[in-house]
Chain A
Amino acid sequence: MKFIHAADLHLESPFKGLKNDETPNGLWKQIYDSTFKSFERIVNDAIKYDVDFVLLAGDLFDRDNQTPKTYDFFQSQMQKLNEKNINVYMIYGNHDYFDMQRETVSFPDNVHVFGNDVETKTFSINGRKIAITGFSYANKWITDKKIDEYPMKNDVDVQIGMLHGGLEQTGDHYAPFALEDLISKKYDYWALGHIHKRQQLNESPLVFYSGNIQGRHKNEPGNKGYLLVNDESGKMEAKFHATSLIDWLTLDLSMDFVDVESAKNHILQVLMGNKYENMQLISLNLILNNPISDGQRQDLEYRITNVLAKDYEQLNAWIYEINIRLSNDQKMSSIDQDIWDEAQEKVFSEDEISSISKSLRKYDFIARHLDDSKEDLMEQSKMKLLGGKEDTDEN
C-alpha cells in the first residue's frame, strides 16, 4: 500500500512580506503559480509513483481568498487523479471549513470528502481492508476534543486517521488533541494537518504533520512538500518529497561596514557561495559593528535590489528585506548608557508602542506586525539614533 499525505495546500494564498515595486515581474509569476505548481507536482508524483490513494488533511483553500481559478484548478487536478483511478480522501480544515448541511460542492467520483462528523470510510486494496477515519470543519473553530469521537481500530488491516488540528498544549481552538489520544486509537498512521511546519510527533505508529506545500512568508521557511507513505517493507514508512518552488530563508550576516559598495559585494559573494538549488526568498539580517545612516541603508538596499533584479534567477535568490542591526556591544553613550537603558525599557513597552501607533492600529495587519516587532523597532531606533548622531556630528 502506498499513499501520499499532504495538507495545508492553501492554494492561491498570497505571499506575505514582499514589496510590490521592487520584486521582478518574473518572480511574481513564479510566486503566483507556486501553490498551484507545488500541488500539481504532488498530483503528478501520485500518478508517477502509482499510489493507491492521496490524503489531503485540510486547509486546501483559504476560504477568505478563494477564487474560481482555485476551484477550477483543484477540480482539474482531482480529475487528473480520477482518470488514473487514484482516490482522494480529504477533510476540510479551519481555513476551508465547510458546512455540509448548508453547502454543497461536487467533485469527481474519486474524491471522498469526510463529513462534519467523524466518519470512517472503508475499502480494500489487494485484499487488505483499509479504513480511513476523519472529519471536516464546519466552522472556523472547533474547541471540542473531536479525537474522542474517533473509533478504535476495528476489524481492518490498516486504519489511518486524518485530523486537522493542534496539540492541546499549543492552546488553540483547532480540534485539540494529545499525542496519547492518537496513539490510544491503535491506528497505523496519523495524517495530520494544520501545522505548517513538517514534523513527526511519534514513531510507532507514525504521526506526522506533512506541513504545508509551499511556504508563504518568512515564518514558513525551508522546502515544503508531501509525505510518501509506504508499508511495502512490512513497516509503515514516510518519506518527505519536496515540491515547493520557492523557499523562504532568513540569513544572518555579520560584517564590518566600510562603505555601501563593498557591503553589497560581500552580500552577493555570500549568496553566490551558497549555491541555492531552489529559489530562495531571503530576509537578510545584517549585523554591523558600527552604525550606518538611513541614507546608507537605503543605498545598500537599492544596490542589492538592482543587482538581484538582473541575477536572481542565476543566484536562485531574492532578498526581499534587509534588517540592519548593530552588534550587541554598540552603546548609545559611554556615560549615560544607564539612562538610555532605563529610557529604552520605558519607551519600548507595549503601552508606549501602542500609544504612538494608535492611529495606525486600526489596521489589523499593522497592529499584528507591530506587536511582533518590538525588538526590530528597538534595533532600528538605535540604528537611527546612532547613525543620525553621526550624521549631525559631521555637519
Chain B
Amino acid sequence: MKRHLISAADLSRGDALLILDTAEELASLADRPIKKLPTLRGRTVVNLFFEDSTRTRISFEAAAKRLSADVINFSAKGSSVAKGESLKDTALTLEAMGADAVVIRHSASGAAHRLAGWVRGSVVNAGDGTHEHPTQALLDAFTIRRRLKGATARGTALDGIRVTIVGDVLHSRVARSNVLLLSTLGAEVTLAAPPTLLPLAVDTWPCAVSYDLDSELPKSDVVMMLRVQQERMTAAYFPSVREYSRRYGMDTARMAKMPDHAIVMHPGPMNRGVEIAAEVADSVRSTIVEQVANGVTTRMAVLYLLLGGTEFPEVAP
C-alpha cells in the first residue's frame, strides 16, 4: 500500500481486498465487551477538519481510539485557520507536533494532495472538495460485500455486481471514489443523473452512463443515492426540486422495480423527500445505518494498515 490514502485510485485490487478483509477481522471486535485494541498505542492521529462534518469526524475518531491511538481533533473554526493561517502553516504545525497520521477534510479539491507534500506522516483524505472521499468508497464496498455475500464475503471482490449511482455526480467526491474503487473491485458501475450533473468527459470514466434511472433499476444489485446539495437547487442544474425528485428520487414505486435482493445506499446526510423517500430510507433494503457502523471498522482497517500497527487483532475472545 502507498503511504497515503488520497484517491481510491491509489488502491490496487489487492490493497482494497486487504482493507476489506482487515475490516472484517476488526468488525468481529465490535461484538466483544471490550472493543479496544492496543495496536496503535503511542501513535498520534490528527483529525484536521476544515469543513464541518460531525459524522465523518466522529467515525475517524472512534476508529483511531479503538486502536488506542492518541487523537487530536483540530477544527478550523475558531482556530488560527479562521484567522488566515495557510494550509501549509497548519501542516508545519502538525508536523512539529509529530502527527503519525493526518485525517483531512477540506472544501478545496486537492487539499489532501497538497498536505501530503508538506508532512511526513500518512495523509488520509476524508473528503476534499468535489474530488474524492476514498474511505467512504471503502465502507460502501464493505457494506455491499457484506449485504450481498454474507458469510462468504471474506476474500472476495465485487465482480459482476451491478451498482447504479444516482444524482449529482459532477460535484460528488463520493461518486468519484466509488466509481474508481468499485470498478477496481470488478463491479459494473452505472451513473444515472441529469446531463447537467455529469462531468463533460464522463465517457472517459470506467463506468456506464444513463439519463434514465427507471430503466436501470431492474438490472441493479445496488442503488446508491447521492445527496442533492442545497446550493445546486438554485443554480439551474435542474428546474425544481420537485422535478428532480420525480425523475431521480428513490421512492417506493422505484424501489419496487429493483430485484428482490437489491439494496439502497446513501452516504448521508439525507434529504428525505428529495433524493430518497422516508419509506425507502427506513426500509429493510436500506443500508444507511449499517454504512455508518461499517465506516468505523473500515477506517480502523485503513489506519491500521497505513500506520503498520504492531499487533494484529486477536479474533478469539
Question: Do A and B come from the same complex?
Answer: no
The interface of chain B, by Cβ under 8 A from chain A, is none
The interface of chain A, by Cβ under 8 A from chain B, is none
